[in-house]
């Protein structure tokens, strides 16, 4: 089998053979365990990716977890949710020059690996591919008041390429496989100030007012100018050299847009866009941990074709999780066939995959805070009274269990080592690793980006030193970037 996979919705979408490329259906790639272990140089995702958590979305997501370097990657799919489509001013200027003498006021251009099937707009197709790294693109441009604007931009699937276009696609695909080398982008540091993103009305905020004050005080003590900014301040990101997110993060959310903007402008970002993407999806984490043999509860990736296998595999009770669930939301304990059927079908209407997991009852979860690949705090999060989770949500109330903080030396070594190993697979950001420990095992439940750091809870052992440690790492990364010579 070749080490380049072309993923399509259905094998019939592309029956031709291309040297060095294996055509695989999306279903096979997502569900066949063989692809988790296979060494693959590149996954070319030519599935439909018209919505978040579609089958095509999961192809790119799992390809990243498997180290298969997908095209497009999940960041690119997120960029297309932005009305500006992630294109820059230089691209817009190129559009004006290229289309200046067109007689029509609307133009649609296809780009197959950066080449136009009509050959009229090859240079513009190349620019599109440079901006949005996807095998198949379609862009519509409209002229108003003598100025061309990008009206629509979408990723196409192999099914959108008619029989007449397959020969040209094969040619561009073959050229890409033979010649393409991933480009590297370097960030450029610019300054000595820190923006802390926080909106007071954010539900489940990861830091309370006391913690925010301590972050500001720690920054001042370290000579870093820190300022709290809100959700309407995205255009101010460029004024700072680092962004520290203290709002609840998720994909398709203003926090992710802040992280993307900051990263693209060369800022140090905590947490970075990759960490948000990876931690916000439990399908990615499961695949990542399975690949690296990190202990987890028995888990199934559920799709429409294997729902009947859940109970024989996991039994009752079990837990169903939305892939992007967080803060105990979207996580349901299932104790009957009726509840299982209703819940799994409800989640499948929104997501192609569902996470099913064995239920491991414990009185508390371990939470290990990891930053810069090192443990910085350890807590026990006790279950809410009379409930099986740390947070109990009722119609008009939100009840949390208590928190107890420990020195790292007081905690079983296996807990800390397992947490650090799991976090380091995700990246070098600030993570909260949740684990359960029983008489026979210690397993990772999930790795959270943007973990809670509240005054009176996570800082109970280190106090102000915890805040200085976090701000100090951010400041050090800024200074390290300054020492990197411009390329």
3-state per-residue secondary structure call for 339-352: HHHHHHHHHHCCCC
Fold classified for 193-271+475-482: Rossmann fold (3.40.50)
Give the pLDDT confidence score for residue 25 in this predicted structure: 93
Question: What backbone phi and psi angles, to 5 degrees, belong to 434?
Answer: -100, 130
Question: What backbone phi and psi angles, to 5 degrees, belong to 118?
Answer: -85, -15
Q: How far apart are CA 244 and CA 190, in angstroms?
A: 16
- Domain ranges across the chain: 4-74, 79-165, 193-271+475-482, 298-358, 362-463
Confidence (pTM): 0.72
List alpha helices for 307-412, DSSP H: 310-314, 337-348
- Answer whether 153's CB lies under 8 Å from 110's CB: no
Domain 298-358 top-level CATH class: alpha beta
List alpha helices for 53-102, DSSP H: 55-65, 74-79, 89-99
Give the pLDDT confidence score for residue 14 in this predicted structure: 75
Calculate the CA dihedral of residues 259, 260, 264, 270 and round it to 10 degrees.
20
Q: How far apart are CA 478 and CA 406, in angstroms?
A: 30
Q: How far apart are CA 376 and CA 356, in angstroms?
A: 31
Q: How far apart are CA 267 and CA 214, in angstroms?
A: 22
Give the pLDDT confidence score for residue 181 in this predicted structure: 40
DSSP string, 248-311: ---SSSHHHHHHHHHHHTT-EEET-HHHHHHHT-HHHHHHHHHHTT-----EEEE-TTSGGGHH
Contacts for 120 with CB less than 8 Å, ≥ 6 apart: none
Give the β-pairing of 318-326 and 391-393: unpaired
Radius of gyration of the chain, Cα coordinates, nearest whole angstrom: 24
Provide CATH code, domain 4-74: 3.40.250
Structure tokens given for 471: 């701000």
The residue to which tokens 């299982």 are assigned: 340
Mean pLDDT per segment of 10 residues, for the chain of length 487 residues? Answer: 83 77 92 87 89 86 88 83 59 85 92 92 86 90 91 89 87 82 38 87 86 96 94 87 93 86 91 92 93 95 94 95 71 93 92 93 95 96 82 70 94 97 97 94 95 96 95 94 60
Q: How far apart are CA 59 and CA 197, in angstroms?
A: 31
- Answer whether 358's CB lies under 8 Å from 314's CB: yes
Question: For the chain, how many residues are written?
Answer: 487
The residue to which tokens 């979305």 are assigned: 57
- Tell which CATH architecture fits domain 362-463: 2-Layer Sandwich (3.30)
Hey, which CATH number is domain 79-165, 3.40.1350, 3.30.470, 3.40.50, 3.40.1130?
Answer: 3.30.470
Is 4-74's fold the same as 193-271+475-482's?
Answer: no
- Answer whether 287's CB lies under 8 Å from 279's CB: no
């Amino acid at each position: 089998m070749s080490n380049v996979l072309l993923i399509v919705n259905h094998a019939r979408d592309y029956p031709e053979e291309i040297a060095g490329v294996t055509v695989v259906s999306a279903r096979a790639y997502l569900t066949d365990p063989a692809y988790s272990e296979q060494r693959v140089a590149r996954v070319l995702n030519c599935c439909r990716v018209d919505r978040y958590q579609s089958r095509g979305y999961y192809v790119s997501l799992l390809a990243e977890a498997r180290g298969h370097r997908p095209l497009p990657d999940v960041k690119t799919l997120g960029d297309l949710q932005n009305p500006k489509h992630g294109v820059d001013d230089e691209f817009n200027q190129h559009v004006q020059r290229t289309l200046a003498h067109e007689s029509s006021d609307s133009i649609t251009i296809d780009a197959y690996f950066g080449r136009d099937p009509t050959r009229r707009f090859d240079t513009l197709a190349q620019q599109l591919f440079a901006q949005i790294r996807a095998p198949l693109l379609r862009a519509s441009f409209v002229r108003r008041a003598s100025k061309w604007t990008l009206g629509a931009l979408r990723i196409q699937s192999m099914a959108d390429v008619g029989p007449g276009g397959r020969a040209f696609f094969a040619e561009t695909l073959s050229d890409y496989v033979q010649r393409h080398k991933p480009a590297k982008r370097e960030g450029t540091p610019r300054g000595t100030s820190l923006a802390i993103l926080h909106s007071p009305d954010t539900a489940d905020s990861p830091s309370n007012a006391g913690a925010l004050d301590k972050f500001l005080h720690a920054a001042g003590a370290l000579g870093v100018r820190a300022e709290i900014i809100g959700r309407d301040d995205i255009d101010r990101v460029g004024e700072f050299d680092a962004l520290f997110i203290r709002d609840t993060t998720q994909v398709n959310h203003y926090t992710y847009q802040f992280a993307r903007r900051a990263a693209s402008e060369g800022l140090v970002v905590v947490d970075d866009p990759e960490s948000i993407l990876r931690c916000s999806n439990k399908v990615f984490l499961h695949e990542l941990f399975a690949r690296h043999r990190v202990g987890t509860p028995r888990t199934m990736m559920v799709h429409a074709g294997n729902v009947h296998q859940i109970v024989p595999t996991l039994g009752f009770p079990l837990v169903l999780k939305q892939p992007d669930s967080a803060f105990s939301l979207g996580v349901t304990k299932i104790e009957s066939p009726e509840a299982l059927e209703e819940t799994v079908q409800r989640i499948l209407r929104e997501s192609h995959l569902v996470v099913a997991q064995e239920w491991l009852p414990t009185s508390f979860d371990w939470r290990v805070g990891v930053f810069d690949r090192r443990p910085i705090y350890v807590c026990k999060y006790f279950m809410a009274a009379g409930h099986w989770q740390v947070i109990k949500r009722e119609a008009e109330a939100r009840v949390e269990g208590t928190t107890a903080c420990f020195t790292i030396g007081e905690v079983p070594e296996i807990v800390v080592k397992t947490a650090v190993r799991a976090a380091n697979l995700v990246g070098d950001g600030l993570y909260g690793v949740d684990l359960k420990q029983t008489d026979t095992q210690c397993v990772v439940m999930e790795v959270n980006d943007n973990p809670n750091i509240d005054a009176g809870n996570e800082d109970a052992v280190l106090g102000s030193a915890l805040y200085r440690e976090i701000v100090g790492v951010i400041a050090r990364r800024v200074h390290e970037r300054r020492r990197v010579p411009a390329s």
